[in-house]
């Protein structure tokens, strides 16, 4: 099985490293010639270039571009492919991507490896990044069984934990645990910046420690990525944000009314529930 990868950044580069290590031949395509050279030099791919035509003879192609470039890339790519070539992407939102690609290519299944690092780009690529992590495929009723199986073979080679669900269910789930946290976290930073007394703001900056560091981390991440989540997962994210706001309103009411019993029960519930999300 010959692998193609479009986009040689953190995810594309890490997929290449692992699949090559497992003996699959890997061809890479990047818009930047120097990244192609660097990817070959680092052993991320066997060969690489800037022309999508290089992928004509591959069996399975991972589209590892930013979300906004996935559909335009597939549009350019398909004219070079034979009909059996299987396509998959690694975007963190699935419904919009899957719907847009359906009329373009039948042997496509949306994918989402739940792995990553704060850093991005080829420099950040590393071996075994997907081992033990969730890797989700989101076929529709129209996705051929054989298409799913081809991508599964690569996922098993990456030693990831395989999950399968509908694109809409994927987007609802990641709205809760991936996209909502970005905006609750960003709002925390924004709120602190509203402090109008420079003396208190300076103290807040001086006193912030691990609690603030952790809670604010994803809200201080890539603006492009955060915006893409909101653009491509707008409906599910708004639903989660609305539920979040209503929980926040309840917290505020409990504190205003000095209803410490209710507040303690709430915090007991969150303390018990959190480990379910982290097992």
Reduced to 3 states (helix: H, G, I; strand: E, B; else coil), residue 69 is: helix
Residue 46 or 244: the one with the smaller Cβ distance to its own copies is 244
Task: Answer yes or no: are the C-beta atoms of 219 and 185 closer than 8 Å.
Answer: yes
> Does 275 sit near its own copies (CB under 8 A)?
yes
Q: Interaction with its own copies in 141-170: which residues (CB under 8 A)? A: 163, 165, 169-170
Interface with its own copies (CB under 8 A), residue from 33, 134, 142, 146: 134
**Distance of alpha carbon 233 from alpha carbon 223, whole angstroms:** 15
Q: Interaction with its own copies in 230-249: which residues (CB under 8 A)? A: 230-231, 234, 237-238, 240-245, 247-249
Q: How far is the CB of 21 from its own copies (least distance, A)?
A: 23
The site map against its own copies for 201-220 (x = CB under 8 A) is --xxxxxxxxxxxxxxxxxx
Interface with its own copies (CB under 8 A), residue from 31, 172, 198, 232: 172
Q: How far is the CB of 22 from its own copies (least distance, A)?
A: 23
Reduced to 3 states (helix: H, G, I; strand: E, B; else coil), residue 111 is: strand
For residue 225, give both structure tokens: 């990525």
Q: Sign of dihedral through CA atoms 124, 125, 130, 132?
A: negative
Residue 33 or 177: the one with the smaller Cβ distance to its own copies is 177
**Distance of alpha carbon 20 from alpha carbon 40, whole angstroms:** 11
Interface with its own copies (CB under 8 A), residue from 71, 136, 157, 158: 136
């Amino acid at each position: 099985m010959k692998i193609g990868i479009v986009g040689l950044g953190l995810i594309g580069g890490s997929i290449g490293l692992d699949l090559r290590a497992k003996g699959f031949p890997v061809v890479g395509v990047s818009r930047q010639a120097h990244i192609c050279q660097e990817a070959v030099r680092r052993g991320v791919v066997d060969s690489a270039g800037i022309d999508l035509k290089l992928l004509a003879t591959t069996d399975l192609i991972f589209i590892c571009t930013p979300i906004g470039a996935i559909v335009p890339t597939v549009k350019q790519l398909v004219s070079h492919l034979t009909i059996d070539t299987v396509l998959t992407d690694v975007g963190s939102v699935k419904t919009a991507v899957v719907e847009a690609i359906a009329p373009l290519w039948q042997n496509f299944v949306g994918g989402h490896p739940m792995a990553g690092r704060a850093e991005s780009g080829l420099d950040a690529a590393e071996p075994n990044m997907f081992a033990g992590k969730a890797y989700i495929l989101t076929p529709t009723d129209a996705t051929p069984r054989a298409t799913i199986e081809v991508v599964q073979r690569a996922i098993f080679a990456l030693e990831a934990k395989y999950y399968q669900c509908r694109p809409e269910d994927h987007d609802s789930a990641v709205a809760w645990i991936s996209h909502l946290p970005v905006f609750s976290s960003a709002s925390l930073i924004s709120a602190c910046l509203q402090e109008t007394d420079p003396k208190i703001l300076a103290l807040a900056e001086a006193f912030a420690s691990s609690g603030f560091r952790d809670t604010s981390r994803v809200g201080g991440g890539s603006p492009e990525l955060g915006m893409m989540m909101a653009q491509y997962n707008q409906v599910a994210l708004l639903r989660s944000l609305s539920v979040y706001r209503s929980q926040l309103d309840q917290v505020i009411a409990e504190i205003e009314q000095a209803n410490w019993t209710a507040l303690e029960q709430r915090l007991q519930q969150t303390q018990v529930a959190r480990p379910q999300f982290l097992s």
